[in-house]
């Protein structure tokens, strides 16, 4: 099998990006090399997302491209990994083009599945696990900046939001052993990385009890502290926080360690308590706002970002207005905004009617986006004149003479080069902004 090269394409969330790095590590250990482009590959893996229908449509489009590549190279093996693999299972093999199907908990089996497919037998493993966290695997970093990295701390989700496929495609929640997380972060720091983002579907429910000391549970606040202690030179971020679970303990830990970035991703989904109940989010509008107030009390200046769904089942204009007013009240620094997309077999698909017409969903979404743009412009304008510590991540896409990085609040800053090195911290004065980017000038290292 040696010398065969794999090419990995990744769609969807940050967790998928990290999973692809785990897959690369597993395949390299089994003797495969990495191809830098599809044309040079013997095996192509597409790591997929099922969260909304358009995410799946994009992957079907890619599979057509792989079909054409297979005409040029009939030995090419095509593998579908991740959430779509888990959701569609054998159905993917029936399309002819796909040779390998592996769900999110089956990646250790990929060398065997690939070998089997190489013998002309279609190969599938979509078993979900209650234990798998890939804890012992050091992901092969494919992001080329060498400065920022994702580290998974848990997998799966137990929340059962009614619109969401994730609990079905990624299985139940399980936490990764803290010692393996800290070791991975230490190794990254030694290799020059200066920022880690701890990833989980709901980081606040992270919990690890050692069999030898079952009374000593490591919760998320403690894990965050252990990671922050790796080095004061290492920035720590995390996502995603669930409003129903985020503890004050996490906020006090953030306030205590300057290297934990002042930014919380806290998806609200809707500003209407009635819709939140239908979504099974387990908090009210008022409880969400109370969490935000607590964040601002304990960590003044903390950025808050969110996810919003427009046009969920039975959403009225009044519910939609409630979302807009909540947005105004909070003033989110960043938002990921979507129209509701019914996903097969979720509770919402089984029990509720997807009754907001598509054009109305789009209209509401556009209203949400327009409001967010004015709000984020306002939030960025408040940055003008401030001096922020920026971790330099790379050369700006717009100009080779400029660098970009982010502030602790996760805002992107572009500024002139001034001989600054990638992977170092610089103080930058913000001089201008748009709703998406801050423009700065270099102050000092």
Q: Which residues sit at the interface with ligand SF4, rule CB under 6 A?
A: 157, 159-161, 164, 166-167, 201-202, 242
Q: Toward ligand SF4, which CB reaches closer, 6 or 157?
A: 157
Longest dimension (CA), the chain: 64
* 307 versus 389: smaller Cβ distance to ligand SF4: 307
C-alpha to C-alpha distances, 199 to 166, 202, 240, 289, 302, nearest whole angstrom: 15, 8, 7, 24, 19
The whole-angstrom separation of Cα 120 and Cα 114 is: 10
Residue 162 CB, shortest distance to ligand SF4, in Å, is 9
**Smaller CB separation from ligand SF4, 83 or 371:** 83
**Can you tell me the distance from the alpha carbon of 43 to that of 75, in angstroms, rounded to the nearest whole number?**
9
Distance CA(423)–CA(401), nearest Å, equals 17
Is 99 within 8 Å of 78 (Cβ atoms)?
yes
Of the pair 100, 164, the CB lying nearest ligand SF4 is at: 164
Residue 159 interacts with which of ligand SF4, ligand 5AD, none, CB < 5 to 8 Å by class: ligand SF4
Count other Cβ atoms within 10 Å, centred on residue 436: 12
Residue 343: contacted member of ligand SF4, ligand 5AD, none (CB under 5 to 8 Å, by partner type): ligand 5AD
Peptide bond connecting 436 to the previous residue in cis, omega within 30 degrees of 0: no
Nearer to ligand 5AD, 201 or 380 (CB): 201
Contact status: 277 vs ligand 5AD (CB under 6 A): no
> 3-state class of 207 per DSSP?
strand
User: Considering beta carbons, is residue 269 or 379 the nearer one to ligand 5AD?
Assistant: 269
Q: Decide which of ligand SF4, ligand 5AD, none touches 155; Cβ closer than 5 to 8 Å per partner kind.
A: none
| Alpha carbons 9 and 64: distance in angstroms, whole number | 14
Does 365 interact with ligand 5AD (rule: CB under 6 A)?
A: no
Contact residue for ligand 5AD among 164, 224, 430, 433 (CB under 6 A): 164
341 binds ligand 5AD (CB under 6 A): yes
Smallest distance, Å, CB 337 to ligand 5AD?
A: 8
Record the tokens describing residue 55, joined without a space.
Answer: 């995410």
Q: Are 364 and 310 in contact (CB under 8 A)?
A: yes
Binding of residue 178 to ligand 5AD (CB under 6 A): no
Smallest distance, Å, CB 194 to ligand 5AD?
27
Q: How far is CA 155 from the centre of its chain?
A: 12
Assigned token pair, 115: 């070998």
Q: Which 8-state DSSP code applies to residue 384?
A: T
Stretch that binds ligand 5AD, among 54-62, 318-326, 334-342, 368-376 (CB under 6 A): 334-342
- Residues 139 and 21: beta-carbon distance below 8 Å: yes
Site residues (vs ligand 5AD, CB under 6 A):
51-52, 163-164, 267, 269, 307, 309, 338, 340-341, 343
């Amino acid at each position: 099998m040696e010398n065969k090269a794999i090419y990995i394409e990744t769609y969807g969330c940050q967790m998928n990006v990290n999973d692809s790095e785990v897959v690369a590590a597993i395949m390299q250990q089994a003797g495969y090399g990495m191809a830098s482009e599809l044309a040079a590959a013997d095996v192509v893996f597409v790591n997929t997302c099922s969260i909304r229908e358009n995410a799946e449509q994009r992957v079907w489009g890619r599979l057509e491209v792989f079909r054409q590549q297979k005409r040029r190279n009939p030995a090419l093996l095509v593998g579908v990994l991740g959430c779509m693999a888990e959701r569609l299972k054998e159905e993917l093999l029936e399309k002819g083009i796909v040779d390998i199907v592996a769900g999110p908990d089956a990646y250790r089996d990929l060398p065997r599945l690939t070998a089997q497919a190489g013998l002309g037998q279609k190969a599938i493993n979509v078993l979900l696990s209650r234990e798998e966290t890939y804890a012992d695997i050091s992901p092969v970093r494919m992001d080329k900046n060498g400065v920022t990295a994702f580290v998974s701390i848990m997998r799966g989700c137990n929340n059962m939001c009614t619109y969401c496929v994730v609990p079905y495609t990624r299985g139940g929640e399980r936490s990764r052993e803290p010692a393996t997380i800290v070791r991975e972060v230490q190794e990254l720091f030694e290799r020059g990385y200066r920022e880690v983002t701890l990833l989980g579907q709901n980081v606040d429910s992270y919990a690890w009890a050692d069999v030898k000391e079952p009374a000593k549970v490591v919760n998320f606040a403690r894990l965050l502290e252990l990671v922050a202690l790796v080095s004061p030179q290492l920035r720590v971020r995390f996502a995603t926080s669930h409003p129903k679970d985020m503890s004050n303990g996490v906020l006090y830990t953030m306030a205590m360690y300057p290297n934990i970035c002042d930014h919380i991703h806290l998806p609200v989904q809707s500003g209407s308590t009635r819709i939140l109940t239908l979504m099974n989010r387990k908090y009210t509008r008022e409880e969400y706002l109370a969490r935000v107030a607590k964040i601002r009390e304990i960590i003044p200046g903390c950025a808050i970002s969110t996810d919003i769904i427009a046009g969920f089942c039975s959403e009225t204009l009044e519910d939609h207005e409630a979302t807009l007013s909540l947005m105004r009240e909070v003033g989110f620094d960043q938002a990921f905004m979507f129209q509701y997309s019914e996903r097969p077999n979720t509770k919402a698909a089984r029990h509720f009617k997807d009754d907001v017409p598509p054009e109305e969903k789009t209209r509401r979404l556009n209203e949400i986006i327009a409001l967010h743009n004015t709000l984020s412009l306002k939030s960025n304008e408040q940055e003008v004149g401030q001096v922020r510590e920026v971790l330099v991540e790379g050369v700006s896409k717009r100009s080779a003479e400029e660098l970009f990085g982010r502030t602790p609040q996760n805002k992107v800053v572009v500024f002139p080069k001034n001989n600054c090195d990638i992977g170092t911290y610089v103080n930058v004065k913000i001089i201008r902004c748009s709703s998406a980017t801050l423009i700065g000038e270099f102050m000092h290292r």
